[in-house]
Every structure is written in C-alpha cells, then in structure tokens.
Amino acid sequence: MNIFRIIKFAFENIAVNKGRSFLTMLGIIIGVGSVITIMSVGAGAQSFVFDQIESFGSNLVGVLPGASDEEGPPASVFGVIITTLTYDDAKELRKIPHMVAITPYANGNANVSYLNKTINVSFSGVSSEFIEVEDASVEKGRFIHSDENESVAKNVVLGNVVAQKLFSDDDPIGKKIKVNQESFTVIGVMKKRGSSFLTNQDEQILMPVKTAQKILLGINHVSVIRGKVDQKENIPLVINEIKKILQKRHNIKDEKKNDFSVRSMDQALDIIGNVTDALNLFLGAIAAISLIVGGIGIMNIMLVSVTERTREIGLRKAVGAKSGSILSQFLLESVIMTFVGGFIGIIFGIIFSSLIALIVNYFGYHWELLITPFSVLLSVSVAVIIGVVFGFYPAYKASRLNPIEALRYE
C-alpha cells in the first residue's frame, strides 16, 4: 500500500465535505485555543504576581503575628488580631547579624484634610529604615528620622498621589494637615512607585510607628515586621535567629506554640507559585474537557462517514485494499482533522492571548505575553492523541466491513 496515496485519499475526503469537516474541527480548534489561552493567561498572571512581589524588594523576611503552618496563609487572613508582636521586638531583631534594615508596620485608615479637602487614605506607622526595606525613595523633603519614633513626632510623609490630591501644585513640605483631627506636619513626599496589586503605595501616608500606635490607633502591637537581609544565602540563618529571639522575648518553650511566624519572600513566592500552578493546571484541565468533547464530535462524524461510504469501502476492498489500508485511511482522516484543528487552534490561542496581554497593558499593568512551547506541544499532542483514540473505533469498524455486504449496501 502506498501511504502517500492514502494520505491523499484522506485529504480529498476532508476537502469534499469542507463545511462538515470544519464544524468537526471547530471542537478541536476551540479546545486547543482555550488550552493555550488559559495557560498563557495563567503564566502571565503568575509572572505578574511575581513581579509585584519582587517589586517590594528582595531578600526580605517578614514576621507575622500568630502561629501558622509555614505553607498555609497567616492567621490574620482569618480575621484574628493577635497583639503579641511589638515595636520593641523589631528593635531587638535589628541587632541580628546580616540584618541590614528593619521596619514594623502599624496600619490603619484615616481621614486626611488640608484646607477644605478631605480624603480617606491608609496609613502605616513605620521606622526610619522603611526606605531601605521597601526600596522606596523620597521625592521631596526627607523621610522619618530614627529619633522621631521615640519622640512620637507628629510628622507625616505623603504618598505621591496623596500629595497631588491634597496640594495639587503647591509645595506640601512644612504644611500642617489634619489626620483624624490631629495636626501633623508634612516632612516629605514619596517618589511615585506605581500601582501594586496589594496596596497602592502612592495613596498611602507614612509616619513614625509610635505616632501611629499611640496617637491614631491606641495600640501597642504592630501588624507585621519586615526586615532586609544582606544576602540571599543568609536568609535561613536570619530566620532561625528571629525565631530564637522572639521565643525568648515571648517566653515560649515549645516551638509548636509560637505566637508568630517568619516567612521569607522566597517562601511567599513558592507558596504563590504552587497555588497559581495548581490553578493553571485546573483551568487547563477544564479547557481540555472541550478537547474531549471535540474528540467525541470527531468520532461521531467519522461513524457517519463510515456508514455513508460503506459502498466505497466495499469497492476499495474489492480492488485489493487490505483491512490495514482502510484502517489507516480513516484513522488518518480523523488525525488530519485534529492536527489541522489543533494548528488553527494554536493560532486562535495566540491571537486571544495577545489580545488579553494588549488589553491588560492598555490599563497600565505590566503583563508579559507568555506562550510556552510546552502548552503548544501539549495541546496539539493531546489533540492528535484524541484524533487517534476517537478515530480508531470508526476506522476499525470500516476496516472490518465484509466487502460483499458493503458492496450491496444501499
């Protein structure tokens, strides 16, 4: 048997029923297209999230109040407020070797007003080392000095957008503003950092941590402590030190009873990576279901085709086609359909992914268009496998036809 001639027969037959073949392929086109789009969107979202996290600064460790499984979410996610972590803890942790900067965060919301303008913003009480920890910088004026914490100075540093909203084109430095009716002096304006998906730092105001605690919040604890380590390799060492110091300070003997948890950015990235990987896989699997539905469509149409062409099959057998030749011809028809469908699906998938990237970028977020060769290879090979699997039964049925009965078929 001549394989090229058989491929030609398969192509001819697909071409003869153009409309039908296209509709049959549509299932595969949609399946492959959506697998590629979803995997691309997933990869894009993942890298977007990673970028966002890394923009906070590298080599960071975070201390969160409340014990938690290191792989799971922190206690605060469940709305539990734990008050054991304090500014003094932060000061003590600063003394760890390799720790280059540290800042606690005491967070809240406040109404800020200047003249007749009032806006609601979130505020963070931080230490003077916030700048190093977060890789941030001041545009105008200066940042909080370390002694201003102890003196509970009523000074604020404005986020770039806050400054814009309150002062427009005026120079805010040295001006008095009201924060929840308390009078504060503006000492600086932060450089624009761009939007970040967790908090918009440009719409935030910063003040000494003690000021936030005592004057605005009336608390003694902090929400989180973040520290910067000199080198990535030293992070595990520092984490160990943090645990030791805090256990001692909080009088904890049993490690299982820790009232805090320590995380590094790497861990966070790992967790988020795991979660998003699982999510991508899940979405990809859902998209793959449409591939299976497409495969069933192919089987259906091939069964119809075998019945329609019973006489043709009989004739082919009469002129010398072996069962294997008939099997190959029909199997090739479904494989060619899934392959062509898969190819068109790739093109559609790439177009859709690019459109999504384009739209997201248009809204000012940095979104990378990520189409991995893996997703292309995976969806096309799955499509072709589906062609073989779902094409086999009709092809086998065709090859088993009795030539006499097939020739007499009306």
Partner 1 sequence: MSSKLISVKNITKDYHSGDVVTHVLKGVSFDIDDGEFVSIMGSSGSGKSTLMYVLGFLDKYTSGKYYFEGQDTSEFDDDKLAENRNEKIGFIFQSYNLLQRTTVLDNVILPTSYMVNCDVKKAEKKARKLLKRVGLGHRIDHKPNQLSGGEQQRVAIVRALINDPRIILADEPTGNLDSKSGEEIMEILQNLNKEGKTIIMVTHEQYTAECARRILHIKDGKIFNDEIVNNRRLATNGDYKK
The residue ranges that bind partner 1 (CB under 8 A) are 1-2, 5-6, 9, 12, 16, 311-312, 314-325, 403-404, 407
As a whole number of Å, the end-to-end CA separation of the chain is 28
Q: State the minimum distance, in angstroms, from the CB of residue 28 to partner 1.
A: 24
Q: Could you tell me the smallest distance in angstroms from the CB atom of residue 3 to partner 1?
A: 10
Euclidean distance between CA atoms 176 and 305, whole angstroms: 83
Residue 410 Cβ vs partner 1, minimum distance, rounded to whole Å: 10
Q: Smallest distance from the beta carbon of 8 to partner 1, in angstroms?
A: 8
Question: Identity (one letter) of the amino acid at 372?
Answer: T
Query: Could you tell me the smallest distance in angstroms from the CB atom of residue 319 to partner 1?
Result: 4
Compare residues 201 and 325 and give the one whose CB is closer to partner 1: 325
Least CB distance to partner 1 at residue 312 (A)? 6
CB of 405 to partner 1, least distance (A): 10
The Cα–Cα gap between 222 and 105 comes to 6
Least Å from the CB of residue 294 to partner 1: 26
Q: Give 8 or 366: the residue with its C-beta nearer to partner 1.
A: 8
Structure tokens at 294: 């497409």
Of residues 217 and 336, the one with the C-beta less far from partner 1: 336
159 and 186 Cβ atoms separated by less than 8 Å: no
Minimum CB distance to partner 1 smaller for 150 or for 319? 319
Q: Do residues 1 and 325 make contact, with C-beta atoms less than 8 angstroms apart?
A: yes
- How many other C-beta atoms can be found within 10 angstroms of the C-beta atom of residue 151? 12
Closest to partner 1 by CB, 176 or 408:
408
> Between 323-362 and 373-400, two packed helices, what is the crossing angle to 10 degrees?
150
Q: How far is the CB of 295 from partner 1 (least distance, A)?
A: 26
Query: Residue 205 pairs with which residues in a beta bridge?
Result: 123, 158
6 vs 209, beta carbon nearer partner 1: 6
AA letter at 290: S
Our CB check for partner 1 shows the closer of 174 and 320 to be 320
Query: Residue 107's Cα: distance from chain center in Å?
Result: 26
Encoded tokens for 19:
């409309």
Q: Which is nearer to partner 1, 241 or 312 (CB)?
A: 312
Q: 13 or 160: whose CB is closer to partner 1?
A: 13
The answer to whether the CB of 179 falls within 8 A of the CB of 122 is no
- For 399, the token pair is 């090859």
CB of 1 to partner 1, least distance (A): 5
CB closer to partner 1, 271 vs 407: 407
In angstroms, give the least distance from the CB of 4 to partner 1.
9
**Comparison of 228 and 317: residue with beta carbon closer to partner 1:** 317
